[in-house]
A and B are shown apart, each in its own frame.
Chain A
Amino acid sequence: MYELKSVHKRYGLAKVALRKIELTVQDREFLVIYGPAGAGKSTLLNILAGITRPTSGDVLRNGVSILRVPPEKRDAAMAFENYALYSHLSVGENLAFPLKARGLGRAEVEERVSRISGILGISHLLERRPGFLSGGQRQRVALGRAIIRPADIYLLDEPVGHLDAKLRHKIRAELKALAEDLSATVVFTTTSSREALALGDRVAVLNAGKLEQIGVPADLYHRPANAFVASFVGDPPMSFISVEPRRQGDRVEFVTADGMPVAALAAEAVSNLREEAGSKIQVGFRSNEVRIAEEGDSNALRGRVDVIENLGYMKIALVGIGGDQVSVSVPAGTRLGVGETVAIAFPRDAVHLFQNARAVTHAVPSPGV
């Protein structure tokens, strides 16, 4: 088990890469660090690897500080985002490098190299130098070199980010299966929401050096801690409509600036909604929690279709309502044109509520509107 205790990392005087991170990596866990570029994901991995020292805070392994343990004694294997291949060695020698450094016998080295290169589909490249490989092939060599040996923890920095879609899908599946086979502890960074939700036993969302939320994928998706996580996890991201609360007996109704009702929740459900002037209150929806209104739907808002994204098996319509934009999942066969005016039906009581970007409540989505 690895623990980051209040880990802070500053580069120079101004640039803060990580802000007081508290994070635990459980044994045999597949932990995904998910965040936009420049969020501090690589810095976090480098600190776990011992390459970078935190400015303050502590890193523990099974309760003992490992800050003073050099990288070669940490038993961590890492795949670097920019590959970091030994360009003077062939692909086969690159893969064998960590094994030879640990003094493994020749037969075992050869056996492992051939097995890993088979899994990654690079068996035919073993004699080549990295300079003669494509980006995707090099990334696979980098990944192979990291997972070829048993390690206490595998640190994979966007290891499939530069592969084409088909290969990414395949390697992702292989990786998950491999991690389960080896009961390995894996920390994996990515900028893809899909990858984060698909691979992670838990997902940590990092933004501008701050840990926004950590939890199982379902939690992140259904109960985001704040508007950033809500808008960053899930594809399409959660959409928001700015509202104002109005108390009506034991219920609180949320209406748009034009006075149109969007949602109504029981007062106790929103008890931690603070009453303060000028605070920004938003109702959030997943694209599958709203739909195109049918005749007789009472709780509907009209809007204009701005963009239609065809995903093949379904379509995502971006509908402008007031100053906000709401994404709606619609069946692939739906006839819908850009510029068309549609009514969107909202679930009155199944909404996510945010005040000043912090989550207030996540009413459990109920079937039907």
Chain B
Amino acid sequence: MLQRDSSFAREALRYGLIVLVLGFIVFPIAWMIITSFKPPEDVMVSPPRFLFTPTLENYVHAIYDKNFLFYIKNTLFISVTSTVIVIIAGSLAAYSFARYNVGDGHLLFFILSTKMFPAIAVILPYFLIFRDVGKTGVGRFLGIGLDQPGALIISYTVFNLPFAIWLLVSFFQDIPRELEHSARLDGLSRLQVLAKVVCPLAAPGIAVTGVFTLIFSWNEFLFAYILTRKVASTVTVGVESFFTLQGILWGPVAAAATISVLPMLVFVLAMQRYMVRGLTFGAVRG
């Protein structure tokens, strides 16, 4: 009897803690979603109203009046392109670090050290570089001037690559060399081995890296704010544009934010099945 009581208390405590932590994490998101459906007069009242007539007015305003889908399209193009580049370049770099120990570990450390200064420290040189490059023929052709998607793609790639390489190196190191040797003897060339053996085994690492990189690029604000004006603005800048001189349009802000979260949510859920550990389990005698 006593035992049952104590185990009940323990269970109650467990669920209590879970609810507390969940509340902490979920509450702001729930608040955002609830706000996005509130009529304007209910948004800022105190105490907050939880019973109201839901409306799509905010979404209509965000999508039609502010053309928010344009920002989504921009962001999608910029962050996906940057992520693809980061994954390809990062995998190749990480593979060579893991297998050939390029630079004896010093180069790898140096690469990470580029992440040590705050982004704001380099924003001015970036601004000047992209301004001048954008005026050249090549810059115009590739779209890497100010307020061009190329500028952000390059910035995000440069900023995410070191972290991606670091993350990927350990995944590649986990793959036993003998698997590659075996595949070579089975008749595959170096590149085929990479495609048919190494990459499938590193898939969880690549998925994790892809998720992180995409989320970073999707949510980035500083670079997008400084380097774009209109044409290449992303969702974070788009939301900021709702902060008007007349005041902050909280309802549409919440609607826009909700729309921006959705693609990431779908993407992460889709990637979840690849994010499993231990794919090399059973490959070699352990």
Contacts and interface: CB of A to CB of B under 8 A. Distances in A.
Interface of A: 46, 49-51, 70-72, 74, 76-78, 80-88, 97-98, 101-102, 129-133, 135, 138, 145, 162
Ranked nearest first, the 3 interchain pairs of A and B with the lowest CB-CB distance are A131-B282, A84-B178, A130-B282
A83 B186 contact: no
Given A72-B185, A72-B189, A87-B179, 5 more contacts: A70-B189, A78-B182, A80-B181, A80-B182, A84-B182
Interface of B: 176, 178-179, 181-189, 192, 197, 200-201, 203, 278-285
A82 B176 contact: yes
A333 B218 CA distance: 83
A125 to B, nearest CB: 12
Given A49-B185, A70-B184, A77-B185, A84 B197 contact: no
Given A70-B184, A102-B187, A86 B283 contact: yes
B282 A133 contact: yes
Contact of B285 (A71, A88, A98, A135): A135
B186 A98 contact: yes
A98 B181 contact: no
B181 A138 contact: no
Contacts of A84: 176, 178-179, 181-182, 283-284
12 contacts: A71-B181, A74-B185, A76-B185, A83-B178, A84-B176, A84-B283, A87-B280, A87-B283, A98-B186, A130-B282, A131-B281, A138-B282
B206 to A, nearest CB: 13
A46 B185 CA distance: 10
Contacts of B203: 88
A130 B282 CA distance: 5
B178 A97 contact: no
Given A129-B282, A138-B285, A162-B285, A86 B187 contact: no
A86 B184 CA distance: 13
A85 B178 CA distance: 9
A285 to B, nearest CB: 38
A88 B206 CA distance: 15
A98 to B, nearest CB: 4
Contact of A101 (B176, B188, B284): B188
B197 to A, nearest CB: 6
A51 B284 contact: no
B275 to A, nearest CB: 15
A87 B203 CA distance: 13
Given A72-B189, A80-B178, A87 B282 contact: yes
B201 A88 contact: yes
The binding surface of chain A is classed by DSSP as mixed
B185 A71 contact: yes
Contacts of B182: 78, 80, 84, 86, 145
Contacts of B183: 86, 97, 101
A87 B201 contact: yes
A132 B192 CA distance: 26
B187 A72 contact: yes
Nearest to B187: A101
Contacts of B282: 85, 87, 129-133, 138
A329 B29 CA distance: 83
Contact of A72 (B178, B184, B283, B285): B184
A81 B184 CA distance: 16
B181 A49 contact: yes
B7 to A, nearest CB: 35
A123 B179 CA distance: 23
A97 B189 CA distance: 14
Contacts of A76: 185
A184 to B, nearest CB: 15
A74 B192 CA distance: 17
A88 B200 contact: yes
Contacts of A86: 179, 182-183, 197, 283
Contacts of A78: 181-182, 185
Given A82-B285, A84-B176, A84-B179, A101 B201 contact: no
Contacts of A80: 178, 181-182, 284
Contacts of B178: 80, 82-84
Contacts of B279: 87-88
B265 to A, nearest CB: 28
Given A84-B179, A87-B280, A97 B185 contact: no
Contacts of A70: 184, 189
A167 B114 CA distance: 56
A49 B186 CA distance: 11
B281 A98 contact: no
B139 to A, nearest CB: 42
A130 B280 CA distance: 9
Contacts of B200: 88
Nearest to A133: B282
Contacts of A51: 181, 184-185
Nearest to B184: A71
Contacts of A88: 200-201, 203, 279
Nearest to B199: A88
Contacts of A82: 176, 178, 284-285
Contact of B186 (A97, A138, A162): A97
Nearest to A128: B282
A130 B179 CA distance: 13
Nearest to B179: A84
A88 B284 CA distance: 12
Nearest to A151: B185
